[in-house]
Chain A
Amino acid sequence: MLHTVTAACYLLAALAAAAGLALRVRAAQRAGVFLLAGGALIHAAAFWQLHTLVPTPSLTELPLASSLMAWLAVVSFLLLHARVRGLALAALVAPAAFLGAFAGALWLGVRTGSGEELHPILAHVHIVLASAGFALLGVAGAAGALYLVHHRAIKAKRAAAQSALPSLEALDRANGAALALGFTLLSLGVLSGVLWVLESQGQLWPDGVTAKHANATLLAWLLYAGVAVLRFGKRESARRAALQSACGFALLLVAVVGLRVLP
Chain B
Amino acid sequence: MNLLLLGLSHRTAPLELRERYALDDPQPALAKLVNGPEIEEAVVLSTCNRVEVLVATREPLAARLRLRSFFERELAPAEAHRARELEGALYELHDADAVRHTFRVACSVDSQVVGEPQILGQVKDAYRAAFASGACGPILSRLYQRAFATAKRVRNETKIAERPISVARVAVQLAEQIFESLDEKHALLVGAGEMIELALEALVKRGLAAVRIANRTPARAAALAARFGASAHGLEELPHLLAQSDVVLTCIGGHEPILSQVAFAAALDERRAQPIFAIDIGVPRNIEPAANRLEGLYLYDLDDLQGVARANAEERRREIERAEAIVLEEQQRFDGWLGALAAVPTIRALVERAETIRASELERGLSGLALGEREREAVEAATRAIVSKLLHAPLAKLRAEQDREAGLAQLEAARVLFGLDAASDEADDA
Could you say which residues of chain B place their CB within 8 Å of the CB of A235? 272-273
- Docked-complex contact A167 and B178, CB < 8 angstroms: yes
Minimal beta-carbon separation of B71 from chain A (angstroms): 29
Minimal beta-carbon separation of A31 from chain B (angstroms): 23
B312 at the interface (CB under 8 A from A): yes
Could you say which residues of chain B place their CB within 8 Å of the CB of A159? 174, 177, 308
Could you say which residues of chain A place their CB within 8 Å of the CB of B180? 84-85, 166-167, 169-170, 173
Compute how far the CA of A162 lies from the CA of B173 in the bound complex, rounded to whole angstroms.
7
Minimal beta-carbon separation of A236 from chain B (angstroms): 7
Compute how far the CA of A159 lies from the CA of B312 in the bound complex, rounded to whole angstroms.
12
Contact string against A for B residues 159-201, beta-carbon threshold 8 Å, 1 for contact and 0 otherwise? 0000001000010011011111000000000000000000000
Tell me the A139-170 residues at the B interface (CB within 8 Å): 150, 154-155, 157-163, 165-170
Return the contact of A154 from the options B178, B272, B295, B311 (Cβ within 8 A).
Answer: B178
- Docked-complex contact A161 and B295, CB < 8 angstroms: no
Compute how far the CA of A239 lies from the CA of B298 in the bound complex, rounded to whole angstroms.
12
- Docked-complex contact B307 and A239, CB < 8 angstroms: no
Contact string against A for B residues 339-375, beta-carbon threshold 8 Å, 1 for contact and 0 otherwise? 0000000000000000000000000000000000000
Return the contact of A160 from the options B179, B273, B295, B308 (Cβ within 8 A).
Answer: B308
B234 at the interface (CB under 8 A from A): no
- Docked-complex contact B178 and A161, CB < 8 angstroms: no
Minimal beta-carbon separation of B170 from chain A (angstroms): 6
Minimal beta-carbon separation of A4 from chain B (angstroms): 38
B275 at the interface (CB under 8 A from A): yes
Compute how far the CA of A84 lies from the CA of B298 in the bound complex, rounded to whole angstroms.
22
A7 at the interface (CB under 8 A from B): no
B218 at the interface (CB under 8 A from A): no
Compute how far the CA of A237 lies from the CA of B296 in the bound complex, rounded to whole angstroms.
7
- Docked-complex contact B273 and A168, CB < 8 angstroms: no
- Docked-complex contact B177 and A167, CB < 8 angstroms: yes
A178 at the interface (CB under 8 A from B): no
- Docked-complex contact A154 and B298, CB < 8 angstroms: yes
A238 at the interface (CB under 8 A from B): yes
Compute how far the CA of A161 lies from the CA of B308 in the bound complex, rounded to whole angstroms.
6
B300 at the interface (CB under 8 A from A): yes
Q: Is the interface of A mostly helix, strand, loop or mixed?
A: loop
Compute how far the CA of A161 lies from the CA of B296 in the bound complex, rounded to whole angstroms.
20
Could you say which residues of chain A place their CB within 8 Å of the CB of B174? 154, 159, 161
Tell me the A220-237 residues at the B interface (CB within 8 Å): 235-237
CB nearest to A153 among chain B residues: B177
- Docked-complex contact A168 and B304, CB < 8 angstroms: no
Tell me the A23-56 residues at the B interface (CB within 8 Å): none
- Docked-complex contact B272 and A169, CB < 8 angstroms: no
- Docked-complex contact B292 and A161, CB < 8 angstroms: no
Could you say which residues of chain A place their CB within 8 Å of the CB of B296? 237
Return the contact of A150 from the options B165, B170, B177 (Cβ within 8 A).
Answer: B177
Compute how far the CA of A163 lies from the CA of B178 in the bound complex, rounded to whole angstroms.
11
Compute how far the CA of A236 lies from the CA of B304 in the bound complex, rounded to whole angstroms.
28
- Docked-complex contact A157 and B295, CB < 8 angstroms: no
Compute how far the CA of A170 lies from the CA of B177 in the bound complex, rounded to whole angstroms.
9
Minimal beta-carbon separation of A170 from chain B (angstroms): 4
CB nearest to B179 among chain A residues: A169
Return the contact of A158 from the options B179, B273, B307 (Cβ within 8 A).
Answer: B307
Given contacts A157-B300, A160-B308, A236-B273, whether A168 and B178 have CB atoms under 8 Å apart is: yes
CB nearest to B170 among chain A residues: A161
- Docked-complex contact A237 and B178, CB < 8 angstroms: no
Minimal beta-carbon separation of B166 from chain A (angstroms): 11
- Docked-complex contact A161 and B275, CB < 8 angstroms: no
Given contacts A157-B304, A159-B308, A237-B273, whether A167 and B298 have CB atoms under 8 Å apart is: no
Minimal beta-carbon separation of B22 from chain A (angstroms): 22
- Docked-complex contact B298 and A161, CB < 8 angstroms: no
- Docked-complex contact B165 and A161, CB < 8 angstroms: yes
Return the contact of B178 from the options A169, A173, A236 (Cβ within 8 A).
Answer: A169
Compute how far the CA of A105 lies from the CA of B275 in the bound complex, rounded to whole angstroms.
45
Compute how far the CA of A239 lies from the CA of B308 in the bound complex, rounded to whole angstroms.
23
Compute how far the CA of A238 lies from the CA of B297 in the bound complex, rounded to whole angstroms.
12
Query: Would you list 29 pairs from A and B whose C-beta atoms are within 8 A, ordered by A residue?
Result: A154-B174, A154-B177, A155-B292, A157-B300, A157-B304, A157-B307, A157-B308, A159-B174, A160-B308, A160-B311, A161-B165, A161-B170, A161-B174, A162-B173, A163-B177, A165-B177, A167-B176, A167-B177, A167-B178, A167-B179, A167-B180, A168-B275, A169-B179, A170-B180, A237-B273, A237-B295, A237-B296, A238-B273, A239-B295
Known: A154-B298, A162-B311, A168-B178. 7 other contacts (CB 8 A): A150-B177, A157-B304, A158-B307, A159-B308, A161-B174, A161-B309, A162-B173
